[in-house]
């Protein structure tokens, strides 16, 4: 299976910003435009970017049209999703992604954009970037770890990341292609044509604003559907702003995941700097990676594309 890796950006290239899910304002996008231009890039905004339809950035066809325009434009070298929220899955049936196989370009985002990572990695073998989005770019235009890691990956860097040692980690080493993203979105795709394939893969999970029992229920879904059984490794990122019921679930989100995956012998790295947090390091989804977890912490190395 040949994996398609979009070419690295270079100074003078043009990138596009679209909103496939929740609505966004010009004030929220402007800092990203300024920072991208400071990287030497030209920025094109989707013509429907600031439309509104309830919580969405325009109706499904408007959002899909912007995405299609960016795919079809030979000038656009990367497509940055302005924000997540919910709604990306609603545009899949309205977008023809075939052109990306002949003119591949980076698709960037996280959270609800997990839909695109899963769909493009699975059906088109195209690498994508799970990384910070324009809504997250700092308003003072001072770069941070998240934006700097995104810049480096977009311009061709093959990074190596590290995380702190945690007692809950499961030590070991594994090699496989990176898959996953937002746990809630992944579970919502289960059984659909955008479902993930996990055998021999390194799975990354993160989530935000979920009830603890939801985390347990979703992890049990992954287990019962066989998606954990043959993993090469598991990376657990930010599990931010978790909620509990009046009657407590009894443990935190990391402990819930540990209780379900501890029976497996693949390496598990908790507290990895990715997700709804800072830093949210840029990950190349679909790229072969090496994950090592030992008493010094976690080490994730992105290997050369093939």
Q: What is the mean pLDDT of residues 77-99?
A: 98
Query: What is the tens place of the pLDDT at every residue in 244-265?
Result: 999 999 999 999 999 999 999 9
| Same-domain pairing of 147 and 270 | no
219 inside domain = yes
pLDDT at 154: 98
Residue 306 has pLDDT above 90, yes or no: no
Domain endpoint, select from 135, 154, 173: 154
pLDDT at 275: 98
| Same-domain pairing of 134 and 176 | no
Query: What is the tens place of the pLDDT at every residue in 114-165?
Result: 999 999 999 999 999 999 999 999 999 899 999 999 999 999 999 999 999 9
Q: Give the DSSP letter string of 187-235.
A: HHTTTSTT----TTPEEEEEEES-BHHHHHHHHHHHHHTTTTTT-SEEE
232 inside domain = yes
Residue 62 has pLDDT above 80, yes or no: yes
294 inside domain = yes
Domain endpoint, select from 105, 124, 154: 154
| Same-domain pairing of 243 and 279 | yes
pLDDT band at 1 (very low <50, low <70, confident <90, very high): low
Query: What is the tens place of the pLDDT at every residue in 32-53?
Result: 999 999 999 999 999 999 999 9
| Same-domain pairing of 185 and 227 | yes
First-to-last C-alpha distance (Å) of the chain? 9
95 inside domain = yes
Domain endpoint, select from 154, 182, 199: 154
pLDDT at 250: 97
| Same-domain pairing of 203 and 226 | yes
Residues with Cβ within 8 Å of 50's Cβ and at least 6 positions away in sequence, in order, are 23, 24, 25, 26, 57
Catalytic residue among 111, 146, 149, 163: 111
| Same-domain pairing of 123 and 192 | no
| Same-domain pairing of 18 and 150 | yes
* Placement of tokens 């800072």 in the chain: 278
Decide if 12 contacts 44 (C-beta within 8 A). Answer: no
Q: For residues 96-131, b (16+ Cβ closer than 10 Å) or e, as one string?
A: ebeebeeebbbbbbbbbbbbbbbbbbbebbbbbbbb
105: CATH: 3.40.50.10740
pLDDT at 223: 98
- List the Cα angle 18/206/137 in 5-degree steps: 40
- CA 13 – CA 135 distance, rounded (Å): 21
Q: What is the mean pLDDT of residues 200-215?
A: 98
8 inside domain = no
Q: Which two structure tokens, joined as six digits, stand for 52?
A: 């509104």
5 inside domain = no
Query: What is the tens place of the pLDDT at every residue in 265-286?
Result: 999 999 999 999 999 999 999 9
| Same-domain pairing of 200 and 248 | yes
* Placement of tokens 């052109």 in the chain: 99
Catalytic residue among 130, 206, 210, 258: 206
Q: Return mean pLDDT, the chain.
A: 97
Residue 7 has pLDDT above 80, yes or no: yes
| Same-domain pairing of 117 and 25 | yes
Q: What is the mean pLDDT of residues 88-93?
A: 98
| Same-domain pairing of 166 and 74 | no
pLDDT at 305: 73
| Same-domain pairing of 120 and 172 | no
3 inside domain = no
273: CATH: 3.50.30.60
Catalytic residue among 117, 130, 214, 276: 276
The question of whether 111 is a catalytic residue gets the answer yes
1 inside domain = no
Residues with Cβ within 8 Å of 145's Cβ and at least 6 positions away in sequence, in order, are 273, 278, 279, 281
The question of whether 276 is a catalytic residue gets the answer yes
Residue 304 has pLDDT above 90, yes or no: no
The residue segments making up the domain with residue 123 are 14-154
Residue 205 has pLDDT above 80, yes or no: yes
Domain count of the fold of the chain: 2
| Same-domain pairing of 211 and 289 | yes
């Amino acid at each position: 299976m040949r994996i398609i890796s979009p070419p690295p950006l270079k100074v003078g290239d043009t990138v596009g910003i679209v909103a496939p899910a929740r609505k966004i304002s010009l004030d929220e996008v402007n800092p990203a435009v300024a920072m991208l231009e400071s990287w030497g890039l030209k920025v094109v905004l989707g013509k429907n970017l600031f439309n509104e339809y309830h919580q969405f950035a325009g109706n499904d066809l408007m959002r899909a049209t912007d995405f299609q325009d960016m795919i079809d434009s030979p000038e656009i070298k990367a497509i940055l999703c302005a924000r997540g929220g919910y709604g990306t899955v609603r545009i899949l049936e309205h977008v023809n992604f075939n052109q990306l196989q002949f003119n591949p370009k980076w698709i960037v985002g996280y959270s609800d954009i997990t839909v695109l990572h899963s769909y493009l990695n699975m059906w088109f073998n195209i690498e994508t970037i799970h990384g910070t989005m324009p809504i997250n770019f700092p308003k003072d235009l001072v770069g941070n770890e998240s934006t700097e890691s995104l810049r480096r990956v977009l311009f061709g860097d093959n990074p190596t990341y590290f995380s702190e040692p945690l007692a809950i980690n499961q030590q070991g080493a594994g090699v496989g292609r990176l898959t996953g993203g937002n746990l809630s979105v992944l579970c919502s795709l289960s059984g659909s044509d955008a479902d993930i394939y996990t055998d021999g893969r390194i799975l990354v999970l993160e989530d935000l604003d979920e009830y603890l029992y939801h985390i347990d229920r979703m992890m049990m879904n992954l287990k019962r559907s066989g998606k954990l059984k043959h993993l090469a490794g598991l990376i657990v990122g930010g599990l931010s702003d978790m909620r509990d019921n009046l009657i407590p679930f009894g443990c935190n989100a990391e402990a819930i995941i540990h209780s379900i995956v501890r029976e497996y012998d693949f390496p598990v790295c908790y507290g990895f700097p990715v997700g709804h947090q800072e830093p949210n390091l840029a990950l190349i989804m679909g790229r072969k990676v090496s994950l090592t977890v030992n008493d010094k912490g976690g080490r994730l190395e992105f290997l050369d594309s093939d």
